Amino acid sequence: MSVDRSDPRSPVISVGGELAYTTSGPLRAEVDRVLAGRPPVIVLDFSGLTFIDSTGLSVIVHAWREGQRAGTLIRLRATPRFLATILDMTGVTGLLARPLPEQSAVTAPRRPAASA
């Protein structure tokens, strides 16, 4: 794992090898460190990923949930086909596509008031 902070508005966390029970802790800690700076976007680069288990998947969901709280979009880059399939099957792709809460309040259509 490495972190590129050359663009502080969009730091890139690169993940390689296996993202599993024994290796997901450091990634989760790094995501939390980067989110503490409240950048507009965090990029998770999976170009070197060879395997992911449910614990690794939970780190992606954690990043999304904490990003929502911090006002930070989580973007995935270089997602291997096996990871894309897992994200689609588990619904995580849909989570990642959701706008931030402030954005959804601005862009959400207004519902008509209920009539009595």
d(CA 77, CA 113): 41
> pTM of the entire structure?
0.84
pLDDT-flagged residues of the chain (< 70): 102-116
pLDDT for the residue numbered 41: 97
pLDDT for the residue numbered 101: 82
d(CA 113, CA 116): 10
d(CA 53, CA 39): 27
pLDDT for the residue numbered 114: 46
